[in-house]
Amino acid sequence: MKKIGRDLSIILSAVWINLLFFVALLALAALLLHQFGPDPQANWAQLVLDAFNLASMERVESGGRGIVVLLAFTLPLAMSLILGEGILRVFSIYSQRNSDRKEWDLMVVKSLKNHLVLCGAGEMGHQLLQQLLAAQPGLKVVILDPRPTLLPELGLDDSTAIHLQADMTNINSLQQAHVSAARLVVLTAGEDVVNLETVYKVLQLNPHVPIWVRLHHSGLADMLDLSKNAHIHFFCPYQQAAHSIVQHILQE
């Protein structure tokens, strides 16, 4: 039931603009009925109901007014175009979600807010993700990584994380990951230059999101203007591992 509820909320988030256009259409029709309809004294609730009935091809008293006849022809057609487009588009994506997940995954990600975006899911990214999910089981995760079939390799499924098979340095890929609404971005690619290039593009989309950046060469952080940004945190796994190991050695 929880998954069905999630899917319904995603579908509604995908067709809300169609619903908004339909409501605007009913409001316009009600206004025309108020100005030119058979009963200028009718209240707005009744006018909107009459507009909906006309859109549903229900009979409405015309009083000899041509506007009612005109709306009786145009509203059903407009409703079919506006609502039909959204319903057919979403139904097509939803029905094919098992065979072609890309469009469905993009729709799911577009509905997310306050999620984690993990760029690069090698061993370091995998370990960080496991720790974060253990600490926050309900965390919503989007993974950007070019490798296919990544989720099974990480022991995850689509109820836990969404995998977008894409290049993390591509700003369109970051937009698809909905970085603009993320609560946290973690960059763990194996190359410093890739992580640093991605930082600048993330900042274009969301200048205030906390970003954790893996650097192999820890000294690079002190040389970058990015180090002055309070939202950006650099970490060197070798340096931190060495510190932890030395602490254990000294305790023996």
Q: What is the pLDDT of residue 10?
A: 63
Of the chain, the end-to-end C-alpha distance in Å amounts to 53
Q: Which residues contact 129 (CB under 8 A, 6 or more apart)?
A: 118, 121, 141, 143, 154, 161
Q: What is the pLDDT of residue 153?
A: 84
pLDDT 10s digit of each residue in the chain, 252 long?
A: 555 555 666 666 666 677 788 888 889 988 888 888 787 778 888 888 888 888 887 877 766 567 887 888 888 888 877 777 666 666 665 665 665 677 778 878 888 889 999 998 888 888 888 889 889 988 999 999 998 888 888 888 777 889 999 999 999 999 999 999 999 999 999 888 899 999 999 999 999 999 999 988 766 666 677 767 788 988 887 777 676 777 778 876
Query: What residue type is 193 in one-letter code?
Result: V
d(CA 28, CA 44): 11
CATH number of 106-251: 3.40.50.720
Q: What is the pLDDT of residue 222?
A: 63
Q: What is the pLDDT of residue 141?
A: 93
Q: Which class for 26: exposed (0-12), middle (13-18), buried (19 or more C-beta within 10 A)? A: buried
Q: What is the pLDDT of residue 17?
A: 76
Q: How far is CA 43 from the centre of its chain?
A: 40
Q: What is the pLDDT of residue 9?
A: 64
Domain residue spans in the chain? 2-95, 106-251
d(CA 196, CA 189): 10
Q: Are 237 and 186 in contact (CB under 8 A)?
A: no
Q: What is the pLDDT of residue 35?
A: 84
Q: What is the pLDDT of residue 75?
A: 85
Q: What is the pLDDT of residue 5?
A: 56
pTM for the structure as a whole:
0.67
